[in-house]
Structure 1
């Protein structure tokens, strides 16, 4: 089968930052299904791993990355029960295994969902990783109750990004929350409004912007961009007994004492935890993806794909990574095979 990977961590402008090669088509066993991939989308985790995985030394065999895919089930392992050959599926995969930038991929069926029926392949490919991240942040970490917490405020940092785009919708439509999204450019601000944000504030002067809209403090904060950079401000604007969730990292230790007086809860969200550690509730991701598919089919949620690049090639993957690395992409970029 054809696959695209890299042996060295090179700038995306370098021709060998991605290389095409042939490798054996894998065979499923156990709870794995074999998926014929039809489209993938690109997330920050893709370029971060590409930039670091082969930084010190070249790899003997190319590393295949990619953690968002849509495709059809070609074969199933002996212990599977959730899918059959021919089913259309979507998933974000497992960070510890070979990725989706290949014609075929093995994936544990327990982290796979049915493809939304009313979305096309490109629209569906932009959903899994971001939807799982946003859903887990809101309903597994904060444990938002749409009745008890109705009207509470959530600040979405990086509202126009892939995760922010779906988090805004889930918080508004499923969580009944008042959503405040951050953006600075006119195009990204307009996108946040289209996703359902009640307020859009400029992150360059966030504290003043929040005061201006009458929300100097917020109940919840979803950090999808820069934990270290926003830490002191988040501690200041979070309400007593509030909850902060972050998917980003800090290069220095965080001062958790700044949250003590307010009894604020801080949670990490890492979408790959369940698959990496084979947690007892690993099938939760299958359930979340199916629920999200239902919400998309019903029109409750909107797809977030904004850019489609046609053709499975190293050149097109480089282009998708260039867009993601620019930090200016809105919504999701998809490569259609």
Structure 2
């Protein structure tokens, strides 16, 4: 089958940063689906892996988000049948979705929203899982919690921020403040439903003083090290900070006086370690699918990059690295 990957870790500007090659059809395990990939998206994790993780042997296939059609099922599969339309975010320990066919454990797969095309549906899984786990696992919220409290989303116009704002507004009672610095990103987070918008080019605690709001929850999605002192200053005592980026160091002791909680969100943890509750991602993706089909949630796709090819994928990686991406970027799959 056709696949796109990389042979040597490094910058996207390198001549052969991405290559197309012939790969073996994936072998499926007892809990796996073999999916014909119809749509994929690009996430920051694609950039990090390509830049830093040196492949062993043949090129490593990138890509995590996918939407497609089930072609074959493993002997223990109970949730899906051939012909089912699915979407999912994959497993960082296995070959990726930038290929014609992809093997994935059914426990991390959801039913594709019928209201979205395959390409648009491919933009939703990874960010939706991340945002859902921040709200309902890290922060332990539910639809009855959050009344009178606020959530600050640092990096509101990115893929995770875009769906996190929506989930918080639709499924909790939280007031949502999002950061954005440009006119286009401010307009985007307003469209996603943010109650207030502040500028992360300025000290966050100063921006929050102007709103006279002290959030109990902070989702720091980017530049955590830069903003950590401000977050500590603005958050309520006994509040909770969740982050997804990779700061080299944080002054964790500084948050002790407020008795703050600090947690990382990494949506691949369940699939990496085959946790007992691994199928929670199957359940939450089905719920997200229902919310998209009902119109409760909006698609966060903001750019379609054409059909998956070395040239188009390189352009999508460059766009993601530029810092100007809003929402999600998607491409048609190789199987189309």
Q: Normalized against structure 2, the TM-score is what?
A: 0.96
Aligned to 1:163, what secondary structure does the other structure show? Answer: helix
> Which of residues 255, 259, 282 is equivalent to 1:259?
255
**C-alpha separation between the residues in 1 aligned to 2:130 and 2:251?**
25
> Which of residues 320, 329, 335 is equivalent to 1:333?
329
> Which of residues 61, 66, 78 is equivalent to 1:69?
66
After the TM superposition, which of the residue ranges 270-279 and 256-265 deviates more from structure 2? 256-265
> Which of residues 217, 224, 234 is equivalent to 1:237?
234
Check conservation: 1:42, 1:324, Cα contact below 8 A: yes
Cα root mean square deviation, aligned: 1.1
After the TM superposition, which of the residue ranges 277-286 and 243-252 deviates more from structure 2? 243-252
After the TM superposition, which of the residue ranges 152-161 and 231-240 deviates more from structure 2? 231-240
Aligned to 2:157, what secondary structure does the other structure show? Answer: coil
> Which of residues 273, 278, 283 is equivalent to 2:279?
283
**C-alpha separation between the residues in 1 aligned to 2:7 and 2:126?**
25
> Which of residues 73, 78, 100 is equivalent to 1:81?
78
Aligned to 2:99, what secondary structure does the other structure show? Answer: coil
Q: Normalized against structure 1, the TM-score is what?
A: 0.96
**C-alpha separation between the residues in 1 aligned to 2:67 and 2:283?**
17
Check conservation: 1:162, 1:330, Cα contact below 8 A: yes
After the TM superposition, which of the residue ranges 303-312 and 88-97 deviates more from structure 2? 303-312
Query: Shift of the alpha carbon at 1:23?
Result: 1.4
- Structure 1 unaligned spans of 5+: none
Check conservation: 1:309, 1:316, Cα contact below 8 A: yes
Aligned residue-pair number: 332
Check conservation: 1:72, 1:86, Cα contact below 8 A: yes
Query: Shift of the alpha carbon at 1:78?
Result: 0.4
Query: Shift of the alpha carbon at 1:102?
Result: 0.4
> Which of residues 134, 142, 149 is equivalent to 1:152?
149
**C-alpha separation between the residues in 2 aligned to 1:249 and 1:209?**
24
**C-alpha separation between the residues in 2 aligned to 1:246 and 1:23?**
36
Check conservation: 1:122, 1:305, Cα contact below 8 A: no
Residues 1-337 of structure 1 correspond to what in structure 2 (within 5 A)? 1-54=1-54, 59-205=56-202, 206-215=204-213, 217-252=214-249, 254-337=250-333
| CA spacing shift, 1:148–1:6, aligned 2, 3 Å | closer
**C-alpha separation between the residues in 1 aligned to 2:143 and 2:260?**
20
**C-alpha separation between the residues in 2 aligned to 1:321 and 1:285?**
26
